Amino acid sequence: MSVTEFVKGKYGSAAAVYLAHIRRGGDSNQKGTAYEAFYAAAKIFELAANPSNELHDFSISSQDIAFVDDLCVRQISIRAKTNYQAKNSSGAPANWDAEMEVRFRRQLEIDTEFHEVNISTQVLLVSCPIKARDNESKIPSDLKERCYSEYFPYQDTSTTRLLCDFQPLRSNLEALCGSSDLSLLDSAFKLVLAIWGTDADRPRMVDDILGRAKALGKPNIFVDTVIERTEVPSWLLEKCYTFNNVTVRVESASFIVSYNGLEVGLACNVVTPDSDEIGTLSTPMQFLNFLMRKNAAEALIGTEK
């Protein structure tokens, strides 16, 4: 049985027609799609930045056939399902009203009876903090445990403005990238948005999305896990010690070799070079040139402007 057939049987034909209408509205709302995509990316970062989460346990999808249909996050192991209705508005469309209440109540029932989830939660996502607060006060007491309104800023299509405007997003990205460099965080955000925008209409695992974003990054800018940090390999550390003023540190997913203001990046998964080859490098310039070539060959292949 499909969701639509279930809805028709439980709520009648008019409800099934309304469900189809909701889906068509979602397909045509490009402005809303950008807002939803930014929130989806932010949710992926939030889940991934929490070290207690197993990312293969979470799936995320958009525009499901549902009364609360903009985004759906599932935690498979505990059969939890959270649906989001996104309204990038501070006006009436973002209100918790009678129609919204019907949709949220129905979705709770569909999740429990049709999808057979243990924990169903419905969220009204709005781009105005005052509206979110007002909505919270309107949600009936019998729904408060399973429904709420959440604020998430709308910044059109600008990742940069959203990063500057929304600290929780930035904090999560800093944890995932191992850096507070705004240029790097902005690139990481765009990589996940790019993956999210590809084939967004089917449920995908969060670890798969992040893995593909990592692969798309040239160089990779996501650290392996939030709590693990890579150590500088001995061949690199020892070679740096042989020159005055050459230092090495770990930043994001790279080793940064520095000399008088010049910082050369080397991917953390760099292949150990032949010791004879390293031995021939007798000046800082030769050494830094070698690292640049090595990084280009190993970490930047497959990128075209």
Partner 1 sequence: MSIDTRTYSRYADQVAKKALNALLDAASAPEAYRGAMVVLGRQLGDVLEREVSEESTCLVASTAEDADFLAHGVLETLQIKHKNTLTAVFWNNHYSIPGGSVAPIVHKFLQPGYEKADSLIIVKSVISGSCVVRTNILALIEKLINIKHIYIVSPVMHSKSEQNLQEEFPEHISSLFKFIYFAKDSTKDADGEVKPGIGGQIYHLLGLSEQPAKSSFVPEVVKRLAGIM
Which positions lie near partner 1, rule CB under 8 A?
Answer: 156, 158, 160-161, 164-165, 180-184, 186-187, 190-191, 193-195, 197-198, 216-219, 221, 259-265, 283-285, 288-290, 292-293, 295-296, 299-300, 303-305
Alpha carbons 66 and 122: distance in angstroms, whole number: 11
Q: Give me the least distance between CB of 132 and partner 1, in Å please.
A: 21
Q: Which is nearer to partner 1, 96 or 222 (CB)?
A: 222
Q: Kind of pairing, strands 71-75 and 246-251?
A: unpaired
Q: Which is nearer to partner 1, 143 or 182 (CB)?
A: 182
Closest CA to 23 of 70, 91, 87: 70
Q: Give me the least distance between CB of 195 and partner 1, in Å please.
A: 8
Q: Which is nearer to partner 1, 13 or 157 (CB)?
A: 157
Are 125 and 87 within 8 A, CB to CB? yes
Q: Give me the least distance between CB of 53 and partner 1, in Å please.
A: 26
Q: Give me the least distance between CB of 86 and partner 1, in Å please.
A: 19
CB atoms within 10 A of CB 214: 19
* Percent helix, strand and coil across the chain, each to the nearest 5: 50, 15, 35
Q: Which is nearer to partner 1, 18 or 196 (CB)?
A: 196
Query: Which amino acid is residue 269, in one-letter code?
Result: N
Q: Give me the least distance between CB of 64 and partner 1, in Å please.
A: 22
Q: Which is nearer to partner 1, 76 or 194 (CB)?
A: 194
Q: Which residues neighbour 163 within 8 Å (Cβ) at sequence distance 6 or greater?
A: 169, 170, 173, 182, 185, 186, 189
